[in-house]
Amino acid sequence: MNKVKQKPIPKFKNRVNEFEFWQKADTSQYFDYKKVLRGVRFPNLKLTSKPVTIRLPISLVERLKVEANKQDVPYQALVKQILYKALL
């Protein structure tokens, strides 16, 4: 296996200098991403959406599913699109 030697991370005077450095730096020279990303987990992520229960007539759900199929999207996504547009 060909191992690449990583450069040491320099010391920075302040956050602005650090920000400017990382904007231009090739991070692969400073981090071994094969090691960094191994076993990364985010167990405490919070949902960005909230499940909502709504009762709809079966015929309406069937119509939504047919239209969603025409647009090649899941019907729940179509419902979200319709609601979003209705609120604009």
| Every domain of the chain and the residues it spans | 15-87
Measured CA to CA, the distance from residue 21 to residue 15 in angstroms comes to 10
User: Whole-angstrom distance between the N-terminal and C-terminal Cα of the chain?
Assistant: 56
Q: Which residues of the chain have pLDDT under 70?
A: 1-4
Place of tokens 């949902």: 47
Measured CA to CA, the distance from residue 32 to residue 25 in angstroms comes to 14
What is the SS3 assignment for 81? helix
Residue 70's pLDDT is 96
Residue 72's pLDDT is 95
